[in-house]
Structures are given as C-alpha cells and as structure tokens.
Structure 1
Amino acid sequence: MVGPLLGDDGVTRCPWAGPTASVMRDYHDTEWGTRVHGEAAYLERLTLEAFQSGLSWSTILLKREAFREVFCGFDAERIAAFDDADQARLMGEVRIVRNRLKIAAAVTNARATLALREREGLEAFVLSFAPADRPAYDDTATMATTSAESAALSKALKKAGFAFVGPTTMYALMEALGLFDPHLTGCFRRGGEPR
C-alpha cells in the first residue's frame, strides 16, 4: 500500500509518477486524468493503451512520437486504409512495439472508429460511459483496475467492432482521458477540473 509521494521538487504526486523528473512524471503532471478532444486524440489513447497491455507505460511513452509518426497522427481514415503490406512494414519498425495482433487491432479499431462516425463518434461514445460516482482513492491498495463502467465500455466497443479493449484496458483509458479524477487523495493534481 503506497500513498502519494513527495518528489525531489517538493510536490506530492501519485507514486507511479516517481520521485524524480522523468517521462512518467511529465505525463502524470500534464496529461493523465486530463480531458482531450477530437477523434484522433481518442484513437491515439485507445491505441496506446492496447499496445501497453503487458508492458510498462514508460515503454509506450518513450515510443509515443514514433507511434504518432507510423500511425499517421492517428488519422482514422489513413490507418483504416492500411493493408497487409503496411502491417508487415510496421512489424519491421523497431521504434514501436512490434506485436502483430496489436498492429492488426489498431487497423481494426480505426475502421470501427470510422463506422462510429455514422452515430455519435468515438469521443462521445467513450464519454457516455463516464461513471456517475467519481472514485477517490487514498493509496494504491484501494485503487480499482476495472469498474462496471469500464466493463460496459469494453462490451460496447467489442460490439461496435473494436479489438484489444478489455475492461482493464478500458479502465486505464478512462483514467487517462479524465472520465473521472484518477489521482490519489493528496496528489497535487487531485480535484483539478477536466480540461
């Protein structure tokens, strides 16, 4: 059980951000739990959460710019047009996580994102699963990794044709996108308004 930790800069943060300056701390301080807007921003986070499955988040953050480049700025139309040759090219791209199933899922999810345009669109779809009750955790032992809402989002996305969108991955997505405040009580970011 770990509560918020005091960093070397005198600021108290969620413990996973680390006590010293790092890509994780920067992400915690500027992005995690903050609302983003637009289809590409949502598709990026959905894609990166899927690629993170089984890996450390720092690995994904360190490769993020390469992911943005090879996935065309997460433009759903461009990714949806990827064919077998494009997917084989990505398997040879050493700057990203090379996993055939996750690469295929990124293309599948871009195609499903395009289909959602006929309805409310990816952003509104995901936001519709925001929990009514906003959790507040004091330490890592009490933090959840899934919720009824993340399970429902997972099920709905699968029904809409998405892949690699399990309940745990969707809970992490909901945290990252600020569908609720994921910061521990005592973290300097706790209670900040979604931007």
Structure 2
Amino acid sequence: MKKTNSENLRCPWSQTRDQLLRDFHDHEWGKLNLDDDYLFEMLILQLFQSGLNWRVILHKRENFRKAFKNFDPVGVAALTEQEVGDLMLDSSIIRNHIKINATIKNAKAVLIVQAKYGSFAKYLQSIIPTQIVHHPEIFEDIDVSNDLAKKLAAKMKEDGFFFVGPVIIYSYLQSIGLINDHLECCPAKYHG
C-alpha cells in the first residue's frame, strides 16, 4: 500500500500500520499533559520502555495499568513482596525485577515530591517551566538528551527516583510533551 502524502510527512517512527503506535504519536507524544496521574503513568511506561520500544509497551499498556494499581502512586508504593512476586509471574507485562522495584521506589518518590511541591507537575516544572518546542527538519536532528534532561535526571536521582538517566528522562519529557520533537513537516506537530 502506497503511503499518502501526509503519512510521508509524519515522524519516521510513526510510519507504521500499528494503530496504537500511530495514535500515541498523533495524540500523546509531544502533546503537553501535566496531569499528575498521566505523568506517573508515563514514568512507569518509560521505565519499562527502556531497552525496548514504544510499540511493545503500548501493546501491554492496559496490562501495566492492571498490574500497577491503575497507575496510582499510593497503590504502587504499597506493593508487597508477595505482589512483586506475583508480578514476576505475570507474562502480560515485562517481568524485570529491577524495573518493577524501580517503579515502586519511583511511586514513593512521586508521593514525596507531591507533598513538597504540591504536585508532580510542579516538581518537573521547577526545572522545565514550559513546553520546549524544537524544530527538527529530519529525524537525525532530534537529540537523545540535552542539558535540561541531565539536570532533571540528576535532581530526580537526588530525590529518590531510580532508572532515570538523562536519555530516559529526555524520552520521558517527549512523551509527556514538555519537549515537542515532532518534525517540522509532521501533521502532529501542533495538532492531534
């Protein structure tokens, strides 16, 4: 099937027949969303996406939702060793003990920063106050990290977050829309 002109303009990673990935690209990635529940959900998904790809994670998203208490940081922070053991047996998610434990630690860290800053969003915005829109012409122009991601990653590590290196945090910032790295020609750059 020949691609339409508008599809040829899309970010290359979204030029796929996978509808979940296309919808993520069109309606979430690069779209600013500072709802605390969403921010925590994307932090979990980003953590598990590390070393994999968004297509794999998006197809397991509802399974992650069930496994991690509807992405509720209070529920995730309270997971017991027995529940962690059950998650390690759950083939519907990524069974990685390090990532599961990091998710629990991150839930606890989110609760701490929410109490201190008033919200997880305000915490993130203490480093990146508003959306940053880059203007890449080609995919190769998109960074994998930058100084702000490095600064935020360092702060998050200091504040008890795990599995939050600068590359993971840069990708996270793209996924929650604090960084918009859609190609200039992409129809989702300012719409979607």
Superposed displacement of residue 57, structure 1 = 1.1
Measure, in 2, the Cα distance between the counterparts of 1:65 and 1:137: 32
Normalised by the length of structure 2, the TM-score is 0.90
Match of 1:110 in 2: 107
2:121 equivalent in structure 1: 123
- Over 3 Å counting, the alpha-carbon distance change for 1:63 and 1:106 in structure 2 is same
- Unpaired segments ≥5 residues, structure 1: 1-5
CA displacement 1:119-149 (0-9 Å, x = unmatched): 1121111133327764211111111000101
Cα distance in 1, alignment partners of residues 55 and 28 from structure 2: 14
CA distance in 2, matches of 1:39, 1:165: 18
Describe the SS at the equivalent of 2:93.
coil
Residue 118 of structure 1 and its aligned partner are, at CA, apart by 2.1
Contact 2:15 2:22 in 1 (8 A): yes
Q: In the alignment, residue 135 of structure 2 is paired with which amino acid?
A: A
Task: Report the CA distance between 1:56 and its aligned residue.
Answer: 1.4
Aligned residue pairs, count: 188
In structure 2, how many angstroms separate the alpha carbons of the residues matched to 1:131 and 1:78? Answer: 28
| Contact 2:133-2:179 at 8 Å conserved across structures | yes
**2: CA distance, partners of 1:182 / 1:7:** 22
Q: TM (normalized to structure 1)?
A: 0.89
Identify which of 47, 60, 66 aligns with 2:63: 66
TM-aligned CA distance change 1:78 to 1:131, over 3 Å: closer
Q: Is the 8 A contact 1:39 1:123 kept in 2?
A: yes
Please name the residue that 2:161 is paired with.
162
**Whose helix fraction is larger, Structure 1's or Structure 2's?**
2
Structure 1 window deviating more from structure 2 (163-172 vs 182-191): it is 182-191
Which residue of 2 is the match for residue 92 of structure 1?
89
Q: CA deviation at 1:20?
A: 3.4
Please report the RMSD computed on the Cα atoms of aligned residues, expressed in angstroms: 1.9
Indicate yes or no: 2:173 matched with 1:182. no
> Can you give the 5+ residue segments of structure 2 that lack an aligned partner in the other structure?
none
The alignment partner of 2:177 has SS state of: coil
CA positional deviation for 1:19: 4.4
Output the CA distance in 2 between the equivalents of 1:105 and 1:178. Answer: 23
Letter in 2 for 1:145: V
2: CA distance between counterparts of 1:10 and 1:41? 29
Preserved CA contact (<8 Å) 1:49 1:173: yes
Counterpart-to-counterpart distance in 1, 2:18 and 2:35:
29
Partner of 1:152: 151
In the alignment, the residues of structure 2 paired with residue 71 and residue 164 of structure 1 have an alpha-carbon distance, to the nearest angstrom, of: 17
**CA deviation after TM superposition for structure 1 residue 30, in Å:** 1.3
Read off the aligned partner of 2:97 and give its amino acid letter. Answer: R
Relative to structure 1, the CA distance from residue 138 to residue 101 in structure 2 (aligned partners, 3 Å threshold; closer, same or farther) is same
User: In structure 2, what is the equivalent of residue 3 of structure 1?
Assistant: none
1:59-87 deviation digits (Å, cap 9, x = unpaired): 00000000011101111111110121111
TM-superposed deviation, 1:35? 1.9
| 2:35 paired residue among 35, 38, 41 | 38
Please tell me the residue identity of whatever aligns with 2:37. Answer: A
